[in-house]
Structure 1
Amino acid sequence: MTTKRSKVFKTLFVCCLFLVFNANAQTKTPEKQTTGTVPSEVLPITPEVKIGKLSNGLTYYIQNNGKPEDKVELRLALKAGSIVETDDQVGLAHFMEHMNFNGTTNFKKNELVDYLQSIGVEFGADLNAYTGFDQTVYILPIPSDDPEKLDKGFQILQDWAGNALLTAEDIDDERGVVIEEYRTRLGARTRMQSKYLDKIAYKSKYANRLPIGTKENLETFKYESLRNFQKDWYRPNLMAVIAVGDLDVETLEKKIKENFSGLKNPQNEKPREEFYSENHEGTFVAIEWDEEATGSQIQIFYKDKGNPEKTKTVSDYRNDMVEGLFDQMINNRLAEYSNKPNPPFIYGFSYKGGIIGNKEAYQSFAQTNETGQLEGLKVLLEENERVKRYGFKASELERAKKDYLARLERQFKNKDKNESGRIVNSYIQHFLQERPIPGIEWTYNYAQSELPSIKLKEVNALISDFLHDDNRLVVLTGPKKDGLTKVTEKEVIDLLESVKKADIKDYEDEAVRDELMPVKPTKGSITKKEVNNEGQINETTTLTLSNGAKVTYKKTDFKNDEVLMEAFSYGGTSLYSTEELKQTASANGGLFEAGIDGIDKNEMAKMTSGKIVRVRPYIGGNDEGFRGSASPKDMEMMFQMIHLYFTKLDKDPEAFSSFISKQKAFLGNILSNPNISFSIALGEFTNEGNPRYTGFPDEEALDKANYDLAYEKYKERFANAGDFHFYFVGNVEDDKIAEYAETYIASLPSNGDNEMYKVHDFRPKSGSHEFTYNKGTEPKSQVRLTFSGEAQYDEKEARALSALGEILSIKLIEKLREEEGGVYGAGARGSMSKIPYGRYSFSISFPCGPDNAEKLAAASIAELEKIIKDGPTEVDLDKVKKALLLTRKENLEQNRFWLSAIKGADYNKSDLNNVVNYESNVNALTTKDIHNVAKKYLTNGYIKAVLMPEEE
């Protein structure tokens, strides 16, 4: 169970923010204005959903959706989270979420998880829940082809709605688990955030109601405090049941009415109060640093003075479109800075959206190097000021419109191919936040008709409302270390004032050429066409080209607007000398910061406006190749990019310099994070004596990165297209893929060679070793127990070893979490690999308190030894089999799965028919098979690695 915070952000990068703020639905501020006459009728609700309300106030949303087959996604959403807690209930909204998995009327302690595992529903991966400031949501996917399982699913949902037993014993047993979850969140970001959260949520209850709560209250709260929370807030008029899946609406509606009509609201119900932040005079500045901070960040909040209004009318929706275009354009400008030499930040972005509770703000964010915060802040401020003074260019708006529409077009084309798990969230947010659900058909058609009418002056006018000198907050966070001077509040205030008076020039939007490849290459030819596994689900077509390259593709109808691509050729850096490897290891990633055929990254972003296409080459340890994707209509550009990466990758020292600067900024203080530092140190320990181990790229390694050599080796690795194999999966057409293959791949140079990777002599440590690493000030530990070594690859053993990992994960949760209360999560994983040599690996890992590390490590090994001695139980193996088969059933409808399977069969020289035979192979697994691999591979010692806090 996770404690998530809902976010409604409009940029790709906002996931990097740590702030645990709830965003509101797409909103418009009261003062926002639009020009022209715009319809103001109420937004429609998609006809795909049936919305109803029971007499007790419970709302329900139902949609029939056949993807994936035989599965329905159930959700229980509650309009109550940590914000409604009283002082004695801090953290109990989240604790209550946990208790719903630990004893209810129909499922006594641990029976719920055990039952769901028995039908293939995995705890954590499928079955889950999350708590935020204003909501709690329970997640339950359930098979829909079995009436008994469906009935049980709704019974579980009904129990969650108010039938948790909340016995004193069960509550006390769960305290340790929740405290361990609390422990996982400790660290530099939490410490810094605690010092400025009250400035974001100014004079608001939100500042004191982080959903995880406080350790003190989690340890000491009274039973009645939790029971009162359930009684007050788990009531039907604050709830919604959402059911989306492969079942008719009438059946689902009947199940909801049968299970939830009998729920009653309390007689003297507490009002569900809304909470707000207050406005403040002037600018707040928060500057925090910490010894364990991994990076330097800047955040600027121009907080709205009014509370946001919901998006309810067509006019409101149009306003949101205008804001979306604004976001796109400002972020296009900021992205250009990241690609400049000595960039002011690793990345930067701005957007208008929610921050916490009922508050929105125009926000600008950047991550910089540890000495570049003021410079990064200056650039963000100047770009906002530049837009305020001069506005955007017409050409920028046209590109933004193309991108906006292209994204909607992809959604529209795939509208009948959406998985139920993707659909259900929109209804959750409609209930919790009144976010509009007009449906993609209406949205796409409206955007097509209305986007042309949006004028530049409308978008330009927004920033005057966004920017203001009061109700403003600037937050700087970063590492505290010797030799580093902390930015002062005066420096920030002075910079804010100076930018308003600065001489800032208008933005110049340089034109780019119309076509990526104005002159097409001389075509090659297809010398052979083969249909593989004709008539089976794993049918593919392979084209052999005149230069020796091969193209294998699989036509699917899983998505109407998706084509995925990968390619490989054996070799990679295994063919580099040790010295070449060391000189290029930190440089290879920077090769692709340069453009192709004279078109740099910023120009490429402009050229691909309105297109869905990406291609990225790579050089790996044992191979080199490509990864990419495109809309079917943009496939030709994807092929063109492949061709140019082979023949015309630019050599751009300035772009490489920008890459090194960003790498230094990103990696410079990352070792201060205990977990990351532990992983790096463990890698060095297991690779001790490896002459080819390059490890973590520190500043010295980055300074020594040899761009010239890396570029020459790249040309060498991609000089021969004849030993590459390309794979395409998705909505492809035979004639198109043949034409593009002949034009852009068969025309590539080839020398007739077929290289193979080189297997070097070194092998990582295996057997019995102990490694203890001290890092960090918080009482947090990490335990990793690893069994590994050389082995002849065997498909049946690989399957059994992987299943053993899943079985042991079940036992670890039962023992370490449910019985000991010593971990929040624990898991095991087993695998075998062929390349570059036969090898097995089996690992156990979990976070815990330092005082419990040794005890829980011993308990983990004891659980494993039970399996080594007696084998697993049939019950546990059956749970794993059902989960594997359910997952595979869904994977068979995914382009990504098929791309991986088809390429993987060739790469590993295995049989693609294993996909066809998967069900029979899984069903054939026996407890004896698991027992045998446990005895064979897990009795020769293990590496015990433990992260412990620094000793005082």
Structure 2
Amino acid sequence: MRKNFVTLTVMLLFIGVAFGQLDAGLPEGKPILEEDIPIDPNVKIGTLENGLTYYIRNNGKPEDKVELRLVVNAGSIMETDRQLGLAHFMEHMNFNGTKNFKKNDLVDYLQSIGVKFGADLNAYTSFDETVYILPIPSDDPEKLEKGFQIIEDWAHNTTLSEEAIDGERGVVLEELRLRLGAEERMQRVTLPKIMYGSKYAERLPIGTKENLENFKYSDVRDYYNTWYRPDLMAVIAVGDLDVKTMEEKIISHFSSIAKPKNPAKREAYQLPNHEETLIAIASDKEAPFTRVQVMYKDRFEAPKVTTVNDFRQRLVRNLFSTLINNRLDELRNSANPPFVFAFSYYGRTFARTKNAYQSIASTSPEGQLQGLRAILEENERVKRFGFQEGEFERAKKTLFARLEKEYNDRDKLESNRLVGPYIRHYLEQSPIPGIEWEYEMTKRLLPEIELKEVSGLIKEFLHDDNRVIVLTGPEKEGLKQPTEAEVKALLKEVESANLQPYADTATRNELIEKLPEPGTIVETVKNEDLGTTTLVLGNGAKLTYKKTDFKNDEILFKAFSHGGSSLYSDEELKATAFANSGLAEAGIGGLSKTDLNKYLSGKIVRVTPRISLFSEEFQGSAAPKDLETLFQMVHLYFTSLNKDKEAFNSFITNQKGFLGNLMANPQFYFQDRLNTIKNEGNPRYTGFPTIEKLDAADYDLAYQKYQERFADAGDFHYYLVGNIDEEQVAAYAKKYLASLPGLQSNETYVPTKFRRKDTYQKHIIKKGTDPKSNVRITWEEEIPYDEKTEMAIKALGEVLTIKLIEKLREEEGGVYGVGARGSLSKISFSNLMFNISFPCGPENVDKLIAATFEEIEKIKKEGVTDEDMEKVKQTYLVKRKEDLKTNRFWIDTLLSIDQEDRNHENILSYEERVKSLTSKDLQEVAQKYLDGNYFLGILMPEDN
């Protein structure tokens, strides 16, 4: 299922959590730094007699839903040599037959109540843990009971029949096939160095092809019986249900699981220390990206975070990470950037038992040593000179602003975001004091942390032992690969390099130096049904806002004006297509991008302008306290976008570095070739960016066209959704939007003249050496727009996805994943599209394509079963119920309705329209549009 990366750990590192010495007003006793971190009183933690731990929390967002997790404190690190890959295989088997749910019954049932396989129902296996994910409705006692029955079955009632095991081998082998490629081949070289001397270097969760094909039934059963036991399990239930009911369910379902009499010891595997610096250099002809990494592993075992002082130290590390990453960002935006992007952090390695300080950079294929030098030098610069007071204060503001936003939204946090910390608490004893405690402690302690503490951390982080240097990238003619000798020489050079202290520069206190004269609001129009208000401004612009209480500290922003690059000539379009994204790199209002970022320290706000094919647009967001800054930024993007050729050249350099070997990757190459073939004869097709196209990008022309596209601010429709102060919005609209020029241009876009061929085509693209194929089947046709057809073609995609998973994955064992998607657009011209795609083995391509068309023909002849129709309807209705309570849904929907000239009433009638959808509707669109005129693209490996 889903791969488990260290995402959560990295995210936690960048959340400002601060704790330290408190002063008056605290209870007497031991010093506060020695106090234990409390557990959030909002969560109830218990342990059953058999050793199973549970975490329960009532949380009302989203309504009528509970997030369930079964956490097993065992992963691939517990496998024997005969069990390689079986921790992950066991995860699959829990979806393939249990005591109360026969094979496929579990997924069928959950789909029938609106729980989508993959998107909602999921699981992951990592080195040290296996986690099962199940969201379940909480407003129906029967559905709730079945939800708890499912996770109980996962815990101890898996049947593991021989038929089911053999049937799943193919699926897991297809998942392994997906991972084949340049990254996997290079990992074979780098992982033994990164995880030197440890079992982690030998226990990738996916396992090996040989073992997955040949393991005995007893091997997976032994793993299950050894490690799936209550003393290594936790059940987590968070959602819209009272704690008492959830606890009763857990006790009822899990108390009877027998506690093992002589359980195997759950080892904590170590990452041994090493005196020397280990260097791993790996290259591959198909590697699309280039990376360098410096890793300083701690000499000691990762300590548990249990006291206030531990948390205080974590805050110091978070400040350090913010400071060093701000410097790396400045380098990225410099005139001659040494890397595409880079970041540093202190946190976990693959092993729970060891932390490390790491600096990582993505570079151009030719720039590995340059990028490595840059991150080494920035670390060395901090070691010699430390950080400066100005950047330190900005880092404090940034960290506290992030924490404050989380605190302000503490009662509006979705349940699926609350379960993660409880998982980490069970597995790693990470603290869960609750956001209220974290916020109050941080607010009091952050001012006490001194600059020298943060600067001094680098001396703990950097050391010659336990150091690993990793370089990965492409291998191609004319490209010289770095050597170990060069890397070692570079390490010595940096130690004695003549470095200068970081030069911090102050930025001005005001974003807009001369405030504009306010404009006027000439009309206010309310839509009571949608809960929106539209302000018509004196310059002709409109601003529609919807005040919500979905989040306390969130306002989303979007805007559009018809036109975009459709108004460019063919030559202008091609000359600017790859320049437009670099325009904002120059900054606004006379502030460079670096200075703008400094000004925005401590503010939660972002705004991005964009020129798309058919409109010019803005998108952004802000905390309510920073809404005026958002309006100011929009004003400046209209009136004062800087022009800076050096900043643009820096952007182009970074883009070249990122794209340097992209087309060597089979998947990117396949997509590019299919798009090129489909757009044969299209004079406006620009394709994937290349080095040559980037060199030809015309900055001057792009800047000129930007000025033209954003000259008429009165032709825009602006949208705000969130926790809005209506008086503020009106005042800011008059001051910053209505004051902009309105030219009454009333432009519209120019529809696309080019049409793709509506004929049968088959194209086999050969690329890559791995036994991997990819199949894409596409129907495309210009038809009159019809709302009912749009809903039917989308629903057909959902149904066909279900049927193809059943056929190609569960029955044939030929794919890991498959998807179908239908759409009917209105922009430019009414265009129906239907796509089916799946990866598979080259030997199975023809068989699986034939099976796909068999499923299509069944729908054409027999229609869709009532059961499958109900699955799709329930999925739609459950999702819409949640969507209606999110700012993102409302701003996207309001904008698309206006931009595509849709009926506002459709928002209110959605449930009725879903319920009225019939099998015949889907059958008719399948018969009418899934005809013999389709585009078939097949990726095959190159001939040997």
With the length of structure 2 as denominator, give the TM-score of the two structures: 0.98
Query: In structure 1, what is the equivalent of residue 145 of structure 2?
Result: 151
**1:846-884 Cα shifts (integer Å, max 9, x gaps):** 111111111101111110111112211111011100011
Alpha carbons 1:901, 1:912 under 8 Å: kept:
no
How do residues 727-742 of structure 1 correspond to structure 2 at under 5 angstroms?
727-742=719-734
Query: In structure 1, what is the equivalent of residue 252 of structure 2?
Result: 258
Distance 1:473 1:422 in 2: 34
- 1:188 partner amino acid: A
Query: In structure 1, what is the equivalent of residue 398 of structure 2?
Result: 403
Cα 1:602–1:11 change in 2 (3 A) is farther
- 2:891 partner amino acid: L
Query: In structure 1, what is the equivalent of residue 274 of structure 2?
Result: 280
How do residues 339-358 of structure 1 correspond to structure 2 at under 5 angstroms?
339-357=333-351, 358=353
Query: In structure 1, what is the equivalent of residue 434 of structure 2?
Result: 439
Alpha carbons 2:19, 2:315 under 8 Å: kept:
no
Alpha carbons 1:8, 1:354 under 8 Å: kept:
no
Alpha carbons 1:291, 1:480 under 8 Å: kept:
yes
Alpha carbons 2:19, 2:312 under 8 Å: kept:
no
Q: Does 1:490 align with 2:485?
A: yes
Q: Does 1:207 align with 2:183?
A: no
- TM-aligned CA deviation for residue 760 of structure 1: 3.0
- TM-aligned CA deviation for residue 198 of structure 1: 1.1
> Secondary structure of the equivalent of 1:939?
coil
Query: In structure 1, what is the equivalent of residue 124 of structure 2?
Result: 130
Q: Does 1:673 align with 2:668?
A: no
- 1:645 partner amino acid: Y
Query: In structure 1, what is the equivalent of residue 634 of structure 2?
Result: 642
Alpha carbons 1:723, 1:754 under 8 Å: kept:
yes
Which of 459, 469, 482 pairs up with 1:474? 469
Distance 1:685 1:213 in 2: 38
Q: Does 1:590 align with 2:582?
A: yes
Which of 832, 835, 841 pairs up with 1:843? 835
Distance 1:765 1:862 in 2: 24
Q: Does 1:69 align with 2:63?
A: yes
Which of 701, 714, 735 pairs up with 1:709? 701
Q: Does 1:505 align with 2:497?
A: no
- More displaced, 867-876 or 557-566? 867-876
- 1:309 partner amino acid: P
Query: In structure 1, what is the equivalent of residue 26 of structure 2?
Result: none
> Secondary structure of the equivalent of 1:621?
coil
How do residues 52-201 of structure 1 correspond to structure 2 at under 5 angstroms?
52-201=46-195
Which of 259, 264, 269 pairs up with 2:263? 269
Query: In structure 2, what is the equivalent of residue 632 of structure 1?
Result: 624
Which of 862, 879, 895 pairs up with 1:887? 879
> Secondary structure of the equivalent of 1:180?
helix
Distance 1:680 1:265 in 2: 56
Which of 546, 552, 555 pairs up with 1:554? 546
Q: Does 1:950 align with 2:942?
A: yes
> Secondary structure of the equivalent of 1:229?
helix
- TM-aligned CA deviation for residue 8 of structure 1: 4.2
- TM-aligned CA deviation for residue 940 of structure 1: 4.3
Which of 512, 517, 520 pairs up with 1:517? 512
Alpha carbons 1:26, 1:311 under 8 Å: kept:
no
Distance 1:428 1:918 in 2: 37
Distance 2:19 2:802 in 1: 43
- 1:4 partner amino acid: N
- 1:772 partner amino acid: I
Kindly report structure 1 stretches of 4+ aligned residues shifted beyond 6 Å.
11-14, 25-28
Q: Does 1:4 align with 2:4?
A: yes
Q: Does 1:787 align with 2:782?
A: no
Query: In structure 2, what is the equivalent of residue 386 of structure 1?
Result: 381
Alpha carbons 1:774, 1:948 under 8 Å: kept:
yes
> Secondary structure of the equivalent of 1:680?
helix
- TM-aligned CA deviation for residue 801 of structure 1: 0.5
> Secondary structure of the equivalent of 2:33?
coil
- More displaced, 552-561 or 115-124? 115-124
Distance 2:715 2:206 in 1: 54
Query: What value does the CA root-mean-square deviation take over the aligned residues?
Result: 1.5
Which of 750, 755, 763 pairs up with 2:747? 755
> Secondary structure of the equivalent of 2:397?
helix
Query: In structure 2, what is the equivalent of residue 658 of structure 1?
Result: 650
Alpha carbons 2:586, 2:593 under 8 Å: kept:
yes
With the length of structure 1 as denominator, give the TM-score of the two structures: 0.97
- TM-aligned CA deviation for residue 13 of structure 1: 12
Distance 2:237 2:12 in 1: 29
Q: Does 1:580 align with 2:572?
A: yes
**1:470-504 Cα shifts (integer Å, max 9, x gaps):** 11110011100000001011110011011111111
Which of 558, 566, 583 pairs up with 2:558? 566
**1:138-176 Cα shifts (integer Å, max 9, x gaps):** 011101011111111111010000111111111000000
Query: In structure 1, what is the equivalent of residue 325 of structure 2?
Result: 331
- TM-aligned CA deviation for residue 915 of structure 1: 1.3
Query: In structure 2, what is the equivalent of residue 31 of structure 1?
Result: none
Which of 898, 915, 928 pairs up with 1:936? 928
- TM-aligned CA deviation for residue 3 of structure 1: 3.3
Alpha carbons 1:305, 1:471 under 8 Å: kept:
yes
Distance 1:656 1:742 in 2: 33
Cα 1:27–1:701 change in 2 (3 A) is farther
Alpha carbons 2:18, 2:441 under 8 Å: kept:
no
> Secondary structure of the equivalent of 1:796?
helix
- 2:941 partner amino acid: P
Query: In structure 2, what is the equivalent of residue 774 of structure 1?
Result: 766
- 2:224 partner amino acid: Q
> Secondary structure of the equivalent of 1:310?
coil
Query: In structure 1, what is the equivalent of residue 792 of structure 2?
Result: 800
- More displaced, 579-588 or 318-327? 579-588
- 1:202 partner amino acid: Y
Distance 1:743 1:766 in 2: 51
Which of 259, 284, 291 pairs up with 2:285? 291
- TM-aligned CA deviation for residue 267 of structure 1: 2.1
Distance 1:520 1:191 in 2: 58
Distance 2:932 2:561 in 1: 36
- TM-aligned CA deviation for residue 276 of structure 1: 0.7
Distance 1:73 1:51 in 2: 16
Distance 2:396 2:865 in 1: 59
Distance 2:806 2:713 in 1: 52
Alpha carbons 2:518, 2:735 under 8 Å: kept:
yes
> Secondary structure of the equivalent of 1:542?
strand
How do residues 891-906 of structure 1 correspond to structure 2 at under 5 angstroms?
891-906=883-898
Name structure 1 gaps, 5 residues minimum.
15-24, 29-35
- TM-aligned CA deviation for residue 697 of structure 1: 1.6
- 2:460 partner amino acid: D
Cα 1:885–1:5 change in 2 (3 A) is same
- TM-aligned CA deviation for residue 27 of structure 1: 14
- 1:542 partner amino acid: T
Q: Does 1:427 align with 2:419?
A: no
- 2:567 partner amino acid: L
> Secondary structure of the equivalent of 2:165?
helix
- TM-aligned CA deviation for residue 432 of structure 1: 1.1
> Secondary structure of the equivalent of 2:68?
strand
Q: Does 1:309 align with 2:296?
A: no
Alpha carbons 2:138, 2:241 under 8 Å: kept:
yes
> Secondary structure of the equivalent of 2:3?
coil
- TM-aligned CA deviation for residue 12 of structure 1: 10
- 1:457 partner amino acid: K
- 1:241 partner amino acid: V
Query: In structure 2, what is the equivalent of residue 602 of structure 1?
Result: 594
